[in-house]
Structure 1
Amino acid sequence: MTAYVERTADGAGLDSAPLRLFCFPHAGGGSSLYRTWQRALGPHTSVWPVLLPGRERRNREARFDELEPLIADLDAQLDEYLTEPHVFFGHSMGALLAYRLASRRHGRGATPPAALIVSGYSAPHLPPPLPPVEALDDAALIRLLTDLGGLPAPILEFPALLADALPVIRDDLRVCASDRGDDRPPLPCPIHVFGGDADPLVDELDLTAWREHTTAGGEVRILPGDHFSLLDRPDELLDHLRPLLRGYALHHFA
């Protein structure tokens, strides 16, 4: 199995599920974010967390700090796993990665996802929601991430863990900032958009603008919470995803 995708313990034996859900992480995040999702979304959906280089079991691998080479590598490495019916999900930076990967694959004639599900990120033709990382020293970056809920309180008590996390987050934010957009056509698959009603980074207008990037519709749902609560407390998000994914699974199984 490619280094990019992992299966959770709950995912054992679910290769026969009719739909694969590839989950892309936020800046600084890893595949552990999605370890509980298989139990919530199975058995019609198998959850495939995407683990980027430079974190968790891939912590010794060189990180990307530019979007285009990262998307090209994701495309090459995940290609063999995207032949079965699949959906992309991404939160924050993960939304950008999921969209750009789907767009690249559509542009080269590869099978697109059945749907794109994004949360917590402005539509890709808008400026990135976070300020340029080069303008933030470590103290300012820590304050920003703490205010957003992106740094759990316990990590602040362990300087060594914080020192390991900040370079990963900085490179991921550079990836977001390096997005130059493109003139590729809208995707032929629906885009389903989620956001938090207390998210200080993106508002409903930023989320609604995703409609410009699909010819197949979709919807915008605003849930209670801030930027990270959709992942930190995912029950309500999963309650929405469960019937949505079941519908796509049944469509492709029929």
Structure 2
Amino acid sequence: MSSGGPPRLICFHHAGAGVSAFARWQSALGTAAEVVPVLLPGRGLRIRERRITDPDRLISELDSLIGPLLDRPFAFYGHSLGGLVAHTCAAALQRAGGPLPQLVAVGAVLPPHLRSPVLAAATLPDDELLHRLVDHGVLPPGAIDPEETGMWRRRVLPALRDDLQLGEALCRAADGQTLNSRLLALAGRTDPIASPGGIAQWARYAAAGFELRMVEGGHFFVRERTAPTLLAEVLDGLGAAPGLVSSVA
């Protein structure tokens, strides 16, 4: 593995989102890491491609997307659904005997054995799913306004439903897989979906050190500077730190 250049921070977006979720991260991380957002099929420039709902297809897709990026030290960050994707990708690399991330960071996501109530709603009828997503703050109240709900059903709900189905499938496939990489879990203080106590249970998936950190904000704190700034500090300290320990800050 080449040691030239800063480590790469490979980022996985939340359900229904794309790489724009990490648009401001490079300025917050500075020289601590090169931010590399991963765009899954069915959104952004890949809108015409079939979305992924199967773990095996996800692993194959990630192998082709990030395999060439693992030629120097790297870390993962996944937000919400992206946290399950990050865990799945790290576990697949581990099973294959490939290079491992220095750090796997997950934010705003419960560990696989707990499974978010939002993921459990993936198979609900459209009306019920929309109401569930609004109740949990995933979508704005306008999504269930009779004058707007048709637009949300056509443009937003199909991608969200597929992403939630992927999340459910990743939870079932995880099978308690522990990681031989340091694991950092970020919890939003006002997150209505993923409680700090639940996020703390990611510790059982960490064989090489675990840390829980609280950040200001709700479920979508990925859009603020707090998380990338914190990650910059952690990545800067990886070389000097003997290991992460369980803590809450």
User: By the TM > 0.5 criterion, same fold?
Assistant: yes
**CA offset at residue 241 of structure 1?**
1.5
Q: CA deviation at 1:70?
A: 1.0
- Alignment pair present for 1:207 and 2:199: yes
SS at match of 1:219: strand
Structure 2 unaligned residues grouped into runs of 5+: 242-249
Instruction: Give the counterpart of 1:172 among 160, 163, 171.
Output: 163
CA RMSD of aligned residues (A): 2.5
Gap runs ≥5 in structure 1: 1-15
Q: Secondary structure at the match of 1:75?
A: helix
- Deviating more after overlay: 185-194 vs 159-168: 159-168
- Do residues 236 (structure 1) and 236 (structure 2) align? no
After superposition, the Cα gap between the structure-2 partners of 1:184 and 1:212, relative to the gap in structure 1 and judged at 3 Å, is: closer
What SS does the aligned partner of 2:237 have?
Answer: helix
1:143–1:161 Cα change, 3 Å: closer
Superposition pairs for residues 103-118 of structure 1, below 5 Å?
Answer: 103-118=91-106
Q: Which residue of 1 is the match for residue 81 of structure 2?
A: 93
* Structure 1 residue aligned with 2:36: 48
Shift of residue 29, structure 1, vs aligned partner: 0.8
- How far off is 1:250 after superposition? 7.8
Q: Which moved more, 1:168-177 or 1:133-142?
A: 133-142
Name the CA distance, whole Å, in 2 between partners of 1:246 and 1:146.
Answer: 38
SS in 2 for 1:88: strand
- Residue 78 of structure 1 is matched in structure 2 by 66
State the match for 2:154 in structure 1. Answer: 163
Counterpart residue type for residue 233 of structure 2: P
Q: 2:57 aligned with 1:69, yes or no? A: yes
Which one-letter code corresponds to 2:169 in the other structure?
S
Moved more, 60-69 or 50-59: 60-69
* Matched residue count: 235
Shift of 1:129: 4.0
- Contact kept in structure 2, 1:129 and 1:202, CA below 8 Å: no
Contact 1:122 1:129 in 2 (8 A): no
In 2, Cα distance between equivalents of 1:187 and 1:49: 22
**Native 8 Å contact 2:15 2:160 kept in 1:** yes
Q: Could you say if the C-alpha distance between residues 47 and 153 of structure 1 is closer, same or farther in structure 2, counting changes exceeding 3 Å?
A: farther
What SS does the aligned partner of 1:181 have? helix
Q: Which letter maps to 2:222?
A: L
Q: Please state whether the residue corresponding to 1:117 is helix, strand or coil.
A: strand
C-alpha deviation, 1:99, in angstroms: 0.4
Q: What's the % identity of the aligned pairs?
A: 34
TM-score of the pair, normalised by structure 2: 0.84
Q: Deviations over 1:164-186 (max 9, x none)?
A: 22111100001011132345752
* Pair 244,92 (structure 1): closer, same or farther in 2 beyond 3 Å: same
Cα distance in 2 for partners of 1:170, 1:43 equals 37
